[in-house]
Amino acid sequence: MKPTNMIIMFGLVLFLIIMLMACASLHTGKVTTDGMVKITKKRIPMDAKVMALCFYHPELYSPHTMAWADVFANAKVIDYRRDNPKEFVYPIGSMFIKKKYSKSKKQEKPDEIGTVMVKKTNTGKVTDWEFNFLRLNDGKLLKPKTPLGQYSCIECHQAYESRGYISRESEFAMQEFLSSESTK
């Protein structure tokens, strides 16, 4: 076999192995901030309205109560917003993660639970997004449980329709990130 053919064959085999590993990782039900880009320069406070909703329901675990957050976005989100600065029709696969920090705890260590939202379809509705809690220590996704009559992630994010269902705080962080990128 010629050396060029061997290199091509090796490349194809390596490519197939990488693709299989990537596909296998998609089905683990785990999410990490690896490969995500932190878009907040400094921690941002959660939306006061959201904190108030969560604060008045102490029987529920809430990652929003008195929380500050670091916001992360994947490359799909950043590339889309860089190319479409005035548009909010995020492509399928867009992902935001918020690592939450309680004011009452040390700010250096994130709380055990964060939040993640991933765009799954593109119908123009808030239900295009999947919302989950994220256990930060192992990357396991935890479905939010919303007792009857309580607010859900979808109900709150519905108010952000004009921004593609992304919170005002996350949008400000994205704008700041993109503007700092252009001044480099």
**138-177 residue pLDDT tens:** 888 776 655 444 456 787 888 899 999 998 888 999 999 9
User: What pLDDT score does 48 carry?
Assistant: 62
User: What pLDDT score does 80 carry?
Assistant: 96
Closest CA to 116 of 137, 91, 142, 79: 142
Percent of the chain with pLDDT over 90: 32
| Maximum separation of any 2 CA atoms in the chain, in Å | 72
pTM of the model: 0.71
Q: Spell out a b/e string for 63-91, using b for 16 or more CB atoms within 10 Å of the CB, else e.
A: bbbbbbbbbbbbeebbebbeeeeeeeebe
Q: pLDDT tens digits for 54-88?
A: 544 444 445 555 578 889 999 999 999 999 999 99
CA distance 30 to 43: 24
